[in-house]
Structure 1
C-alpha cells in the first residue's frame, strides 16, 4: 500500500532528524495529471517518494519544495495548467492543481506519533481518514479519524465530521477554518479462493492498488509466502467449509478461481453479503453454475450480482492477462462503490 510505504519512510526520516516537505494535491479543477490526494515526499536530497503528476508541474513543485525546506516553511500554491496563462507550464491538460507544501521538522514527536498510529491502524479493518487543518499554514494540525476507533477532531461536530469523511478527498471551509480530509484506508479484504497461476499473477496487482488480499486454498503448497509475498493473509482450509476459517463481510471482495471447487465456494459466498463476487470460467461453465444455483433457491437478483465470467472483456488468455482484466474490473467496482457511499 503506497500510503503505508509513505508513512514508514516518513517515520524513518523524521526519527533520524531529517526535515521533510510533504507536497499534496488538495484540490483540482478541470483536467490534471493527478487528482486530489496525490503526494510527493521531498528531503534534502530531492524527491523521496510518490508523485504529483510528473512533467512541468512536478518539476516546479520540486523546486519550490527544496526552497521551502531551506526556509523551514509551509506554503500553498496553485499551478495553472492552461496555455497562455500567466503561469503557463506548457502543459495541455487544461486544468489547475492546488498543492499544499507541508514542512515537517525532523524529530517532530507529535507527527512521528501520529504516523506510527496511522501505520498501526492501516492494518485494521476500518475506514480511516487523515484530516489536516490548513487554516494557519505555519501551524497545521493533522488528525486521524476512523469509524471503528474514532479520534477526537478538535472543535468539529458530527455534521462537520460527516462532511469530511467521504469516499473522496475533501477541501472544505468549516467554522472559518480550511480543512483537508482524505480517506487513507477502507474496510474490507479481497479474498482469492484458489492459489493457482491466475491467483499468483493477481495478488501482486491487487496488493499494489490497495486491496488487502487473503489467499485461501486447501493445498498447503499453494498457500505460501514464496508464492504470495505481498498477501495480507494466507489461509489453508476446506473449500467446503470456508466459514470455519474466515468471515465474509459486506465490505469484502471475492474472487473464485479454484476451478474444481468453484460451485461449492460460490454457494457459500452467496449466502453472505459482500461488495463484489467474481467467478472464473467460460460463458458455458458460468451459465451452468448459475442454473445450478438457481435450482438451489438463489434468486435471480443475487445471481445477477456475480461477475461471471470474471474480468473486463479484453480478450485475455494468459494468467497474467486474466489477472489484469480481473484487477481492472475490481478497481472499477471499488471506485463506483465509493462514489455511491
Structure 2
C-alpha cells in the first residue's frame, strides 16, 4: 500500500510497530501534535523507535531527531525495568535562542510540539485494530492522553482531523484514521494512472473509476485504494466515499464520457471538480451541462481546464500540473490544513 503522508495514517508504520510488539518488544512513539510555518516536523508526523535503536517514520530529521532517538532509548530501557513511563509533551523551537520552548538544535525557524510515549505488547489489540481500520478506509480516532494510547471507534463528529489540546498538566491528542486528503479520478487510462501515482505519494486516498474492466492501465494501478468499474460515468459520483473531502478529476477517454461523469458530480458537495481539455472541448462540455439544466453557478465553479498552466504533454507532466493545482487550492478549501504562524 502506498504511503499516506502523515505517518499517523501510514499503515506501514503501524505494521512496523506491530511486528515489534508481537516479538514482545516495546516501541517508543512520538507524534508531532502541532507545528507552525517553517517547522520541519508537520502535524501528524510520527517517529517510532525500538529497543535496538531501529526507527520508522520521522518527526523532522536532523539533530532534533537524533536527540529524540537517544531519549527514546533511555525511556525504553527504563520501561523494560519498571513497566511504566510517562507521556512526555515537549514544545521545541527551531532557533538559536528559544523564547517559548526548548531549543531543538535546528535553526530553520518555526516551532513544533512533540508528544512521546511507550507502547508495550499489551497494546497489540489496539494496534491490530488501527491497521484494520486504515486498510478498510474506515473511521476511528487514535487518542493519546496522560494514560497513553487508546482507540475510539466512534465516527468522528468534528474536524480538524488532528487536534491537540493542553491545559496545565492535562492534554489530549486526537488523530482521525480516516484520511481527509482524498481524490476521485474518473478515467483509468494513462493520465489517470500517472495522477494516481502522484496523489498517493502525496498522501491522498485515491479512488479511480472506469467503464472498462479490462483496460491494462486500470489493472496495473496499484496506487488507488479503491478501483471501481461502472457502466456509466454518471454513476461514479454516488459511489465516492466522503464526498465533502474529495477532489474530483475528470479525465476519461472521450468528451461524452467526461460529460456523463460531470453530470454525476457537478451538483454534489465536492469541494473541487475539474476536467481536462482544450478550449473547444470545454466549450462543448459547458454547453452540454447547460442543456442538462445544470446551474450556471455550478458550471462556473469547475476547474476547466484543470491544472496549473504549463506545457504539459505527457501523462506524468499532466499529473504534476493537476496535483500542483490541488495543493495550491488546499488551504483555501480546507483552512485547517494551513499551519499556524510561527
Query: TM-score, structure 1 length as denominator?
Result: 0.81
Q: How many residues align?
A: 319
Which moves more between the two structures, 264-273 or 238-247? 238-247
3-state SS of paired residue (1:24):
strand
Cross-structure match for 2:340:
none
| Root mean square deviation of aligned Cα | 3.0
How many angstroms does 1:333 deviate by?
Answer: 4.2
Which moves more between the two structures, 175-184 or 314-323? 175-184
Counterpart CA distance in 2 for 1:29 and 1:240 is 41
C-alpha spacing 1:276/1:125, structure 2 compared with 1 (3 Å): farther
Cross-structure match for 1:61:
68
Cross-structure match for 2:111:
96
Alignment of 1:1-341 (within 5 A): 1=4, 2=7, 3-29=10-36, 31-72=38-79, 73-74=85-86, 75-85=88-98, 88-105=103-120, 107-108=121-122, 111-124=123-136, 126-134=138-146, 139-147=147-155, 165-173=158-166, 177-186=170-179, 190-222=183-215, 226-239=219-232, 242=235, 246=239, 250-251=243-244, 252-260=246-254, 261-339=257-335
3-state SS of paired residue (2:185):
strand
1:152-180: CA deviation from partner (whole Å, max 9, x where unpaired):
xxxxxxxxxx7xx4315322146973111
C-alpha spacing 1:218/1:301, structure 2 compared with 1 (3 Å): same
How many angstroms does 1:33 deviate by?
Answer: 0.8
Any conservation in 1 of the 2:207–2:240 contact (CA below 8 Å)? no
Q: Which structure would you say has the larger RCO, counting Cα contacts within 8 Å and 6 or more residues apart?
A: 2
C-alpha spacing 1:189/1:95, structure 2 compared with 1 (3 Å): closer
Counterpart CA distance in 2 for 1:131 and 1:24 is 11
Counterpart CA distance in 1 for 2:105 and 2:73 is 22
C-alpha spacing 1:4/1:89, structure 2 compared with 1 (3 Å): closer
Unaligned regions of 5+ residues in structure 2, if any? 80-84, 338-342
